[in-house]
Amino acid sequence: MIEPSRPEVRQFVAAVNAGDRAALSATLTADATMSDDGTDRDLREWTEREIFTSNGTMAVESESDDGLDLLVRYTNSTWGVMNTRWHFVVADGRISRFETGQA
């Protein structure tokens, strides 16, 4: 597992792995959006279901040169272990959008 080089992304991964709602919220802009497998989702509902109530964790396998794209071994109690890709858009030191899906 590697640690993401971008501080915003590193903080996002740490918050997910800690199951820390407040810390995850602090990494996001107030109007942040997200998509899962190409479909926009309600960010708060999705994170509650796919991360917090299902004990989601991210093991980062690799990242792009700019640190905004990750390949992750994602695990939660609903889906088990899956290889996923994550793309982040950062604005003013916070994540304004993330896109995830199966890799």
Domain ranges of the chain: 7-102
Q: Name the 3-class secondary structure at 80.
A: strand
What pLDDT shows up at residue 1?
A: 87
The amino acid that residue 1 corresponds to is: M
pLDDT of the residue at 19: 97
- Contact between 84 and 92 under an 8 Å Cβ cutoff? The reply is no
69: Cβ–Cβ under 8 A, 6 or more apart, which residues? 63, 85, 86, 87, 88
Rounded-to-integer distance, Cα 49 and Cα 103, Å: 20
Under-50 pLDDT residues of the chain: none
* Domain made up of 7-102: CATH architecture: Roll (3.10)
Q: Are strands 80-91 and 39-41 parallel, antiparallel or unpaired?
A: unpaired
CA distance 14 to 27: 10
d(CA 55, CA 38) in angstroms, rounded, equals 23
